[in-house]
Amino acid sequence: MTATTASVVMCPKCGHVTHTYCSTRRYGIKIRYRKCPGCQNRIKTIQQLDNLEAGEKIVPVMTPKEQGKYLADIRAKQAKRRASMCKANSLTNQEVAEIKYLLKNNVQTQAYTAMQYGVDTLSIQKIANGVVFSNVKTPRRMVDI
Ligand SMILES: [Zn+2]
């Protein structure tokens, strides 16, 4: 198989075409981190920028240090994305009080409540766990809201 160009790199495990999810350029080489949609195998390839005909070469799996850094990066990105998804800040105190009442009395599920108030489930979980809006008291009766 010689078709290891920048765009087509086969998974060495199962032969699926891998796709690039991250790439970086350093010291005259292009590094691509690729994932196989077939078996979830992750590979890293390098390509010499001054010798593109050589194509991408698969290099051995990441070192433990690289894996640690990679995981940390991914987690940081996920945390960032979750934070941006958390729309709890758009809720009013009254809505939060309603949500707290609904959750405490098991009127409806967190997922349904999230949909009803147009926020993600994580926001509802945070409200339920007092991570956010801990200043809003859980009303004892619906009419107290
Ligand atoms: Zn594969």
What is the pTM (predicted TM-score) of this model? Answer: 0.41
DSSP H/E element including 59: strand 57-59
Q: If you average pLDDT over residues 51-69, what whole number do you get?
A: 75
Which tokens sit at 85? 């998804």
Residue 28 has pLDDT above 50, yes or no: yes
Q: In this structure, are residues 39 and 13 in contact, taking their beta carbons and an 8 Å threshold? A: yes
Backbone angles phi, psi at 141, to 5 degrees: -130, 155
Q: What is the pLDDT of residues 83-98, one digit of tens each?
A: 655 566 778 889 999 9
Environment of ion ligand 1 (residues, CB < 5 A): 11, 13-14, 16, 36, 38-39, 41
List % helix, strand, coil for the chain (3-state, nearest 5).
Answer: 40, 20, 40
Greater model confidence, 53 or 94: 94
**Given pLDDT bands bounded at 50, 70 and 90, which one contains residue 14?**
very high
How many angstroms is it from 72 CA to the middle of ligand 1? 24
Side chain identity at residue 107, one-letter code:
V
State how far the Cα of 45 lies from the Cα of 107, in Å rounded to an integer: 52
